[in-house]
Amino acid sequence: MTVESSEKNQQRLEHHLLNDFQHGLSLSPTPFADMANVLGVTEDEVLKTLQQQQNKGVISRVGAVFRANGVGVSTLATMSVAEKDVERVAEIINACEAVNHNYQREHHYNLWFVLMAENEQMLAAVIENIEQLSGYAVMSLPMLEDFHIDLGFDIKWT
């Protein structure tokens, strides 16, 4: 196998792992082996590729996303962060295991993230920790009405 062929195979594996398993992965004691079986590769290749993508910052985690407040509690949170501090504060938010996803918007409230915790007290502690580490206030916007929004993204590869 040539280096070029090997690189194409690796890119194809990355594409399928990041695109194809955003939905419908069956509950199994061996989910990564199941993914490997579907893709015709080894479980080690799947794990190595996912770890590489996480190390590059392409993905933050691989795991289930539960309906809000179905297991534990959650909230949408936002912060108004000075432009010079956005990267630093985003790193603080991203390092928090309670964060489901985090994104920046062009708005007065420019950092938005979803927090999940076991209970209200733990959620409050996470918010307080982020505020202390960042020096900025967190506005918590708990869900009042449930709407299903598909969090999957069709990744366009060039």
pLDDT at 98: 92
In whole angstroms, give the CA distance from residue 92 to residue 130: 7
Q: How far apart are CA 77 and CA 86, in angstroms?
A: 15
CA distance 31 to 6: 25
Q: What is the pLDDT of residue 25?
A: 76
pLDDT one-digit tens code per residue, 31-77: 999 999 999 999 999 999 999 998 888 887 777 665 555 668 889 99
pLDDT of residue 41: 95
Residue 127 has a pLDDT of: 97
Q: What is the CATH number of domain 73-141?
A: 3.30.70.3460
**Taking the domains of the chain in order of start, what are their residue ranges?**
3-55, 73-141
pLDDT at 17: 87
As averages over each run of 10 residues, the pLDDT of the chain (158 residues) reads 76 86 81 92 94 86 64 90 97 92 92 93 97 98 73 66
For residue 44, which amino acid is it?
A: D
CB 116 within 8 A of CB 74: yes
CA distance 144 to 142: 6
Specify the length of the chain in residues. Answer: 158
Q: Are 53 and 59 in contact (CB under 8 A)?
A: yes
pLDDT of residue 133: 98
Q: What's the rounded Cα separation, in Å, for the pair 128 and 136?
A: 10
